């Protein structure tokens, strides 16, 4: 999916508004005004508000597929190192793209729009398929155990990251990290999350676990 700068601008604006106001609470006019474009341009590029949401989900799933393809082609890295890289990148993506993941979380909790729930499930399915390819490569190389439940494994990672993301103020106060700048806190939380999830993944995947 190759997008122009104007299309990316519209998608980023829609993502921000969907995250803050919800899908139902956001109109195409809201998106057009915030993005500084006319309604006809959004209709021309995407057709409808729902098509905008579909394009946002497609863009996010494409990122994972492309990264897994790149890792599979890298024969210099061990299978577990590839998984660790994916963990670090996924954490960074969630922390940097919190608006999108808030959309996913809110829409699943509200569960009022079956079309969006279908998009969320399709995104999970595509991501799980990509991770499965990486796991199968590790199994062929004798590095990973057989019979890995990818859905449980991914749910563990996504659930942990999501809970930390929405509970950052609580985590910061509990560990007395108020003196850290936002940038220092982000670095701290990414490192802690990475270490925690990699430990779990090593136990799940590796014979050394």
Comparing 168 with 3, the larger pLDDT belongs to 168
What are the Cα distances from residue 20, in Å, to 17, 24, 26, 42, 146?
5, 11, 9, 20, 42
Q: In which band, very low, low, confident or very high, does the pLDDT at 209 lie, cut at 50, 70 and 90?
A: low
CA 87, chain centre distance (Å): 11
Average pLDDT over residues 33-59: 89
Q: Which two tokens stand for residue 170?
A: 């609580």
Q: 58 to each of 90, 153, 167, how far by Cα in Å?
A: 16, 22, 27
List phi, psi (to 5°) of 176: 55, 50
CATH fold of 57-205 reads: Tetracycline Repressor; domain 2 (1.10.357)
The pTM of the full predicted model, rounded to 2 decimals, is 0.74
The pLDDT of residue 100 is 75
pLDDT at 191: 94
- Segment 73-101 mean pLDDT: 86
The Cα 156–Cα 108 span in angstroms is: 17
Q: For residue range 95-145, list pLDDT tens digits in order.
A: 877 777 777 777 777 777 787 788 888 888 888 888 999 999 999 999 999
Which of 186, 192, 188, 197 minimizes the C-alpha distance to 84?
A: 197
The pLDDT assigned to 1 comes to 57
């Amino acid at each position: 999916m190759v997008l122009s700068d104007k299309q990316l601008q519209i998608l980023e604006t829609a993502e921000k508004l969907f995250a803050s106001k919800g899908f139902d609470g956001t109109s195409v006019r809201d998106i057009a005004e915030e993005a500084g474009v006319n309604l006809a341009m959004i209709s021309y590029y995407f057709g409808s508000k729902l098509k905008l949401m579909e394009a946002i989900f497609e863009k996010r799933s494409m990122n994972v597929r492309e990264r897994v393809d790149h890792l599979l082609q890298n024969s210099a890295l061990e299978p577990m190192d590839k998984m660790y890289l994916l963990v670090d990148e996924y954490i960074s993506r969630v922390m940097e793209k919190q608006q999108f993941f808030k959309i996913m979380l809110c829409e699943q909790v509200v569960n009022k729009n079956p079309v969006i729930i279908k998009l969320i499930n399709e995104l999970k399915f595509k991501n799980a398929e990509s991770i499965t390819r990486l796991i199968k490569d590790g199994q062929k190389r004798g590095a990973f155990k057989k019979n890995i439940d990818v859905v449980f494994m991914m749910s563990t990672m996504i659930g942990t990251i999501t809970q930390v993301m929405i509970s950052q103020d609580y985590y910061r106060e509990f560990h007395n990290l108020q003196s850290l700048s936002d940038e220092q806190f982000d670095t701290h939380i990414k490192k802690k999350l990475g270490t925690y999830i990699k430990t779990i993944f090593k136990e799940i995947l590796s014979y050394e676990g």
